[in-house]
């Protein structure tokens, strides 16, 4: 009976010790193992056996985590007080250093973040703090990572969540925003007027070009018409002259003389006191004698005298 109780107690003790000696470590976890107070390494992931009597363990989570930094008041480079809160994203890169080097990473990171924020904001004017948030995030990440690197922790990102300037600055920002919107509206209106003027000028230019082209074509057509009319007129005049010459070749000299006299008759009937007589008048008159017969003079009636008889 006593032997059975002893065996049962021993079996229970073995089960208890076996349960305390086994650790199941997940993929994102690590165990920093201490034996008799000395760190002997990192265990995991998977099934890990330890000595529950002399070994002690510290669990480390390797997943990326975040730490909220409450609102901190800082003074900008141009002496403007401003309240900022942000978030730090970090990840443990060396599990053993994160346990051995720093006691409370969250508390240490909170204090380092506050002092680093004041240092960074103190080197920037208020306008840069408000407008260059990405630059401030990058600078904070670099500064914090320089400190946390020796703790085996990597700061992966820093995101400024809210920036609260003082009321006076907010009022000035509101006025500035209103003035900027007014300026943009005026610029947009001026650009619209400029575009409209350019379009109107372009339309007038195109209209002037079209009018000039139309005038040019009309002038060309008019000149072409006048040329065709002149050609037709010259052709008709040439034909008339050829006809006159053709008829003139069939006329004799007497007909031409009569035509000359008819022309002189018309000139004589003119009221003008000056006449232009062609040089060929003498030849015309000589030609006329050939056409008009000359009669002999008749003797006077009555008795003839001696003197007349003698003559």
Phi, psi of 91 (to 5 degrees): -150, 135
Task: Read off the pLDDT of residues 125-144 as tens digits, 9 standing for 90 and up.
Answer: 888 888 888 999 999 999 99
* pLDDT bucket at 242, cuts 50 / 70 / 90: confident
Among 123, 98, 94, CA closest to 108: 98
List 67's β-bridge partners, or say none.
Answer: 88
Task: Read off the pLDDT of residues 55-105 as tens digits, 9 standing for 90 and up.
Answer: 999 999 999 999 999 988 899 888 888 999 999 999 999 999 999 999 888
Contact call for residues 94 and 117 (beta carbons, < 8 A): no
Whole-number pLDDT of residue 304: 44
SS3 265: helix
DSSP string, 54-120: TEEEEEEE-S-EEEEEEEEEEE-TTS-EEEEEEEEEEEES-HHHHHHT-S-HHHHHHHHHHHHHHHH
Does pLDDT of 26 surpass 90?
yes
Whole-number pLDDT of residue 16: 80
Does pLDDT of 151 surpass 90?
yes
Does pLDDT of 287 surpass 60?
no
∠193-196-199 over CA atoms, to 5°?
Answer: 150
Is 248 exposed, middle or buried (CB count within 10 Å of its CB: 0-12, 13-18, 19+)?
exposed
Whole-number pLDDT of residue 14: 77
List 22's β-bridge partners, or say none.
Answer: 49
* pLDDT bucket at 268, cuts 50 / 70 / 90: low
Cα dihedral 178, 180, 181, 187, rounded to 10, equals 150
Task: Read off the pLDDT of residues 171-225 as tens digits, 9 standing for 90 and up.
Answer: 877 888 889 888 989 999 999 999 999 999 999 999 999 999 889 999 998 888 8
Whole-number pLDDT of residue 157: 94
140 CB-side CA count, 13 A: 31
pTM: 0.55
Does pLDDT of 311 surpass 50?
no
∠130-132-136 over CA atoms, to 5°?
Answer: 100
Task: Read off the pLDDT of residues 288-310 as tens digits, 9 standing for 90 and up.
Answer: 555 555 454 444 444 444 444 33
Average pLDDT over residues 24-47: 93
> What's the Rg (C-alpha) of the chain?
66
Average pLDDT over residues 9-29: 85
Contact call for residues 23 and 31 (beta carbons, < 8 A): yes
Token code pair at residue 292: 């008009």
Q: From CA 98, how far away is CA 153, in angstroms rounded?
A: 7
Whole-number pLDDT of residue 257: 65
Whole-number pLDDT of residue 238: 79
Task: Read off the pLDDT of residues 38-59 as tens digits, 9 standing for 90 and up.
Answer: 999 999 899 999 988 899 999 9
Residues 6+ apart with CB under 8 A from 135: 128
What is the residue whose two structure tokens read 């004799």? 252
- Among 98-102, 114-118, 203-207, 262-266, which stretch is predicted with the lowest mean pLDDT? 262-266
Q: From CA 148, how far away is CA 150, in angstroms rounded?
A: 5
Q: What element of type H or E holds 237? A: helix 167-248
Whole-number pLDDT of residue 305: 42
∠118-107-27 over CA atoms, to 5°?
Answer: 120
Token code pair at residue 198: 């350019």
Q: From CA 125, how far away is CA 128, in angstroms rounded?
A: 5
């Amino acid at each position: 009976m006593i032997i059975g109780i002893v065996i049962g107690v021993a079996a229970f003790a073995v089960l208890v010790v076996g349960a305390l000696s086994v650790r199941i470590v997940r993929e994102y976890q690590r165990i920093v193992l201490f034996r008799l107070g000395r760190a002997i390494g990192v265990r995991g992931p998977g099934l890990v056996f330890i000595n529950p009597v002399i070994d002690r363990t510290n669990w480390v989570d390797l997943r990326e985590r975040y730490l909220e930094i409450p609102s901190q008041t800082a003074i900008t480079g141009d002496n403007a007080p401003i309240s900022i809160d942000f978030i730090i994203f970090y990840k443990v890169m060396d599990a053993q250093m994160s346990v051995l080097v720093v006691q409370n990473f969250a508390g240490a990171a909170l204090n380092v973040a506050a002092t680093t924020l004041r240092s960074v904001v103190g080197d920037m004017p208020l306008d840069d703090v408000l407008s260059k948030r990405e630059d401030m995030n990058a600078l904070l990440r670099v500064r914090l990572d320089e400190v946390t690197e020796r703790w085996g922790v990597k700061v992966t990102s820093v995101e400024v969540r809210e920036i609260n300037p003082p009321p006076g600055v907010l009022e000035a920002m509101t006025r500035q925003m209103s003035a900027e919107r007014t300026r943009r509206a005026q610029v947009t209106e001026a650009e619209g007027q400029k575009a409209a003027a350019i379009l109107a000028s372009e339309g007038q230019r195109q209209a002037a070009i079209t009018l000039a082209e139309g005038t040019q074509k009309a002038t060309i057509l008019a000149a072409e018409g006048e040329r065709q009319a002149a050609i037709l007129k010259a052709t008709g005049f040439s034909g008339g002259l050829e006809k006159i010459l053709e008829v003139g070749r069939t006329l004799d000299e007497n007909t031409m003389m009569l035509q000359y006299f008819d022309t002189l008759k018309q000139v004589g009937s003119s009221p003008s006191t000056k006449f232009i007589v062609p040089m060929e008048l003498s030849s015309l008159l000589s030609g006329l004698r050939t056409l008009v017969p000359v009669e002999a003079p008749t003797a006077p009636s009555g008795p003839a005298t001696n003197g007349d008889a003698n003559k």
